[in-house]
Structure 1
Amino acid sequence: MSARQWLNEPVIWSDEGRNIRAVTDANTDFWRQTYYGVTLDSGHFYRQEVRGNFTTEVTLSGEYETMHDHSGLMLRVDEQNWLRAGIEYVDGTTHVSTVITREFSDWSMAPWPQYAGSLRIRLTRHETAVRVQCLDNDGSWKLVRLGYLNLPGTVQVGVMCCSPEREGFAASFSNFTIFD
């Protein structure tokens, strides 16, 4: 595994190993074309290279208060092929949100009534399949997305955050871990 580096480094951030904090710059996002007709690759992504199959987990928390504030995990090949999954604030409610991009972004989301200030999320690579799960209050992992990406042997993996409608969204990532 390689050392972590920023794609679009935010002005304010800290890294204490497994605990990371970032405050978003203005109008940041990851999105490609679908419905909105825009391509944005300005979100903050703190990543490292990982080879082969793996599982990564992190606990998310933040001040989700403006439309499309979001934070989570990201798996990225390049600007046209990636997945982001985590918490997103939409229509006044916190959702579990996943975007898979294969030249065009798709978006799936569901309200997460169990959200009480933090959420543990897991992303697992199985060759070209990517599985996203969230830890429920009863202690069990719930499947929220299973998707396909044409993945090379080595990909970029890490935490991400965005705030397309503002600046200053403070996101915290606790106990960030990658398992082989």
Structure 2
Amino acid sequence: MSHHPDAIETVVWSDGTWTTPPAAVRADGDALRVTAAEGSDAWRHTAYGFVHDTEHALLAPLPVGQAMEVVFVADFTEQFDQAGLFVRADEEHWMKAGVEFADGILQAGAVVTDVRSDWSVGPVPEWSGRRVRVRVSRGDDALTVRAGVDDEPLRLVRVAPFRGDVDASAGPLVCGPMRPGLEVVFLSWHRTPADGSLH
């Protein structure tokens, strides 16, 4: 999937708005270091019975026909440490996609929420400590999630229904549900044309 270079737009960190401010955030050259508050997470109802809407997501507009992409370092060690990309229409309609440390292994996956949350993961232990790229393309009725490491090809993670007639925003996400002090280094944030095909 090649993109015309001038179609890639860098989103400036300061252009985003936090859903919940993190415990700490600081610029480090072109990178952004984000420290999660203990207990931060995003989930609605399913299986656990609770609603969490304390995720740290830095959001900017994501119109239909566009994609959002973030790159970060997946240096996680504790249960449910997570980072990636968050797409939000409202409190009951959102998606988070990226990598999460769960049950002793790094997992790539997504939580899709349409009133209730739905979670899918797959193990990617070989991604640990590497630069992870998460990309979400927004189509007329769907979000398409891809992810990969370093300069390897992105792999398809999820295709999820998502209404095209609502305003939505997207951007970097970090959550530390089980502990204080999780710091994630985000290296870049871009908006590009959406991917043209699923495969």
TM-score by length of 2: 0.83
Could you tell me how far apart the structure 1 residues matched to 2:98 and 2:154 are?
14
Offset of 1:139 from its aligned partner?
2.4
Change (3 A) 1:22 1:135: same
Q: Percent identity, aligned pairs only?
A: 28
Offset of 1:37 from its aligned partner?
0.3
Aligned residues: 180
What residue identity is the alignment partner of 2:121? M
What residue identity is the alignment partner of 2:143? V
- The equivalent residue for 1:46 is 58
Tell me whether 1:158 sits opposite 2:171 in the alignment.
Answer: yes
Unaligned runs of 5+ in 1: none
The one of 140, 146, 158 equivalent to 2:153 is: 140
Report Cα offsets for 1:127-172 as digits up to 9, x if no partner: 2211111125672221111110224343111111111111111111
Output aligned runs, 1:81-100, within 5 Å: 81-100=93-112
Offset of 1:3 from its aligned partner?
2.6
Does structure 1 retain, via aligned residues, the 8 Å contact 2:72–2:188?
no
- The equivalent residue for 1:102 is 114
Does structure 1 retain, via aligned residues, the 8 Å contact 2:145–2:156?
yes
Offset of 1:35 from its aligned partner?
0.3
CA RMSD of superposed structures (Å): 2.1
Could you tell me how far apart the structure 1 residues matched to 2:139 and 2:20 are?
28
Name whichever structure is richer in strand by fraction: 1
The one of 83, 87, 105 equivalent to 1:75 is: 87
Does structure 1 retain, via aligned residues, the 8 Å contact 2:82–2:174?
yes
Moved more, 96-105 or 2-11: 2-11
Offset of 1:76 from its aligned partner?
0.3
Does structure 1 retain, via aligned residues, the 8 Å contact 2:105–2:125?
no
Could you tell me how far apart the structure 2 residues matched to 1:53 and 1:167 are?
37
Moved more, 25-34 or 50-59: 50-59
Unaligned runs of 5+ in 2: 1-10, 194-199
Output aligned runs, 1:3-18, within 5 Å: 3-15=15-27
Divergent runs of 4+, >3 A: 15-18
